[in-house]
Amino acid sequence: SHLRPSYFFSAARRALFKIASFLPLGPWSGLMGTKVRTVCVVINYSFCSGGMILFNKLTMHHLPYPSLVSIVQFGLCTLVILVLKHGGYIECDALDMHKIKPYMVYNLAFVVSIYANMKALEGSNVDTVIVFRSCVPLALSILEWMFMNRELPDLRSALALGMILLGATGYVFLDSAFKLNGWAAYSWLTTWTMLLCFLMVFGKMIVDQVTMQSMWGNVYYTNCLSIVPMMCLGLSGEAQTWANVQMTSRATVFLALSSLVGIGLSYTGWECRGALSATTYGLVGLMCKLLPATVNALIWDKHASLAGGLCLVVCLMGGAMYKQAPLRPEVKTAKSPLDNLPETSPCPSFLHEEGEQKTRTDDE
């Protein structure tokens, strides 16, 4: 009987630790090992990414105003971070002009990508978004070879990327939206895909080069600095329809849920950028889309046909087969700048003469 209380509290501490390890709170990250922490971050990102695309689709169904929804999501995320910061629960960097500059280009591309994603979800289904998303690893492997000193994919990875491209092409031609609207139905998806590739590569560079107290700083900078650009984007083409907004109870619930999931997605997304390479980060984001695709097939009347679903499976299988390309040989080992100097450097003649004069003086 004397052991029961201590055993109970010990079990409670272990349970709280397991729960806390899956929460995106900075103070808990130091209690876990690197591998365990990386796995937890990937799992968190997978759930948040899969849930975000589903909740965004539900929100857009009841509240078809992409820029307005994004502004609310950015504002709520910024507010939550400030509350947690002033409460002492997290560490977050204040706005600094030296740190804002690298985020200016990123935030502009981020805002346009969010808007393009919202517009894409208006006229297409979740499966279509996933297939376009599956083309991102192919582009990232080329971008990493061009800008991040990585080798081109090997034969296995090339075949995997070919499966992704083949499955995506087959799905495009079998999808009902393509048959009805042609390539115009995919203009927003193409724009979103190109911006997503840029954000993954440029975001990885920001994580490596800009020092923050914690990943909450990256989340704060991204969301806070995106509010004004999104407002400008909304005022230019959507503000005239804001007067017709009808906030039903379902719209409010889905908007709140998408905002909360967006906070977790922002945090875990930046942590994945810091722990993984750009291509691996893209593949993780692709693989975690299978759950919302399955849910989408059970809910929406615009889901893909059986043949389209098989093409989707081919895309996901190709993504699972991909193997990260290694770094190029010349950048695997860092060379010292002194290695470029000759082994023996000639000494000027006047130094020899000066040395001989000093020796003679000492002898005298």
Question: What pLDDT, in 10s, does the model give residues 31-61?
Answer: 456 778 778 888 888 888 878 888 888 898 8
Query: Does residue 27 lie in a domain region?
Result: no
Query: Does residue 216 lie in a domain region?
Result: yes
Separation CA 80–CA 238 (nearest Å): 27
pTM confidence score: 0.69
Distances (CA, A) of 273 to 49, 218, 254: 14, 11, 27
Q: What is the domain extent for residue 66?
A: 35-240+248-326
Measured over the CA atoms of residue 332, residue 337, residue 340 and residue 341, the dihedral's sign is negative
Provide the number of structural domains found in the chain.
Answer: 1
Query: Does residue 28 lie in a domain region?
Result: no
Checking if the pLDDT of 343 tops 50, the result is: no
Query: Does residue 11 lie in a domain region?
Result: no
Sequence-separated (6 or more) residues with CB below 8 Å from residue 290: 50, 316
Whole-number mean pLDDT of the chain?
75
- Mean pLDDT throughout 193-197? 92
Residues facing residue 327 across a β-bridge? 150
Query: Does residue 280 lie in a domain region?
Result: yes
Q: Check residue 232 and give its pLDDT.
A: 87
Model confidence pLDDT, tens digit, residues 207-265: 888 888 888 999 999 999 999 988 888 887 776 777 778 888 899 999 999 999 999 99
Report the half-sphere exposure of 10 (CA within 13 A, side-chain side): 5
Query: Does residue 17 lie in a domain region?
Result: no
- Residue 293's pLDDT band (boundaries 50, 70, 90)? low
Separation CA 54–CA 121 (nearest Å): 10
Checking if the pLDDT of 137 tops 60, the result is: yes
Checking if the pLDDT of 29 tops 60, the result is: no
- Residue 13's pLDDT band (boundaries 50, 70, 90)? very low
Query: Does residue 253 lie in a domain region?
Result: yes
- Mean pLDDT throughout 185-206? 87
- Mean pLDDT throughout 17-37? 51
Residue-wise over 18-53: b if at least 16 C-beta within 10 A, else e? eeebeebebebbeebeeeebbebbbebbbbbbbbbb
Query: Does residue 168 lie in a domain region?
Result: yes
Range with lowest mean pLDDT among 106-110, 144-148, 309-313: 309-313
Checking if the pLDDT of 335 tops 70, the result is: no
Model confidence pLDDT, tens digit, residues 83-103: 999 999 999 999 988 889 888
